[in-house]
């Protein structure tokens, strides 16, 4: 199916806005999340007789979800870039609101300590976009992204004396206090499998989660000279 002009414009905006980011949150990440979200949406929609999934909402929310990400925010005005883009493209208010709501609520920080998304109802569009973003954070690509981000912030690779925070708060997570790269697996990445919202997302997360567990087993054995 041919891309709409709005989708092509969104792709160009992503390439411009995410060009300076490290490879853990670059345009390629947004495009992978888009492809994953659309794939999950088609899988979830099979046999669905009501509440059809809007692929336009899914695609645009997935493409635009990391523009204005607090980790890369250089100017507070960047938070309105997506909103201004949707207005400029002439999307109706209902679609624009749904896209903005998905982007605003899909982050892991919104779900720490049992916050909103884990317990409240959600739309199918929200579920597939959030699951797609989380799938890209785990498995082989997730491992690569984790170490890429840690390296970009000069983070300690691993320190056995710094233990993962089991009662991680939203403030601590957002400020990345006392975090090592390997601890990020325990504080976030290994939790994502159980936070998937869709059946399709849950199925795909199983394999990626197992791969991370196997990687960490090997990592710790090599770190201690046992392998």
* CA 36 – CA 165 distance, rounded (Å): 30
Tell me the average pLDDT across 158-185.
Answer: 84
Q: Domain residue spans in the chain?
A: 5-223
Task: Give residue 136's pLDDT band: very low, low, confident or very high (50, 70, 90).
Answer: very high
DSSP element (H, E) containing 214: helix 199-223
Question: pLDDT > 90: what percent of the chain?
Answer: 74
Tell me the average pLDDT across 149-171.
Answer: 90
Please check the confidence at residue 226 and state whether its pLDDT lies above 60.
yes
Q: What is the pLDDT of residue 126?
A: 96
Question: Per residue in 40-57, pLDDT tens?
Answer: 999 988 755 555 679 999
* CA 192 – CA 46 distance, rounded (Å): 24
Sign of CA dihedral 112, 69, 203, 183: negative
CATH for 5-223?
1.10.3210.50
Tell me the average pLDDT across 121-143.
Answer: 95
Question: Per residue in 213-223, pLDDT tens?
Answer: 999 999 999 99
């Amino acid at each position: 199916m041919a891309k709409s002009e709005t989708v092509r414009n969104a792709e160009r905006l992503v390439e411009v806005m995410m060009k300076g980011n490290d490879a853990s949150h670059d345009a390629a990440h947004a495009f992978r999340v888009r492809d994953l979200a659309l794939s999950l949406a088609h899988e979830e929609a099979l046999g669905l007789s009501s509440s059809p999934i809007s692929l336009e909402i899914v695609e645009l929310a997935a493409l635009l979800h990391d523009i204005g990400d607090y980790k890369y925010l250089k100017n507070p005005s960047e938070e309105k870039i997506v909103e201004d883009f949707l207005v400029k493209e002439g999307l109706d208010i209902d679609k624009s609101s749904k896209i903005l709501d998905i982007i605003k609520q899909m982050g892991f920080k919104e779900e720490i300590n049992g916050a909103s998304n884990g317990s409240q109802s959600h739309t199918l569009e929200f579920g597939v976009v959030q699951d797609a973003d989380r799938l890209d954070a785990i498995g082989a690509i997730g491992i690569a992204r984790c170490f890429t981000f840690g390296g970009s912030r000069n983070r300690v690779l691993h320190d056995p004396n710094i233990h993962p925070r089991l009662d991680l708060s939203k403030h601590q997570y957002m400020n990345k206090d006392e975090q090592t790269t390997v601890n990020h697996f325990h504080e976030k990445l290994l939790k994502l499998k159980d936070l998937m919202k869709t059946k399709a997302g849950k199925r795909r997360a199983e394999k990626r989660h197992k791969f991370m567990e196997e990687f960490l087993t090997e990592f710790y054995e090599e770190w201690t000279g046992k392998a």
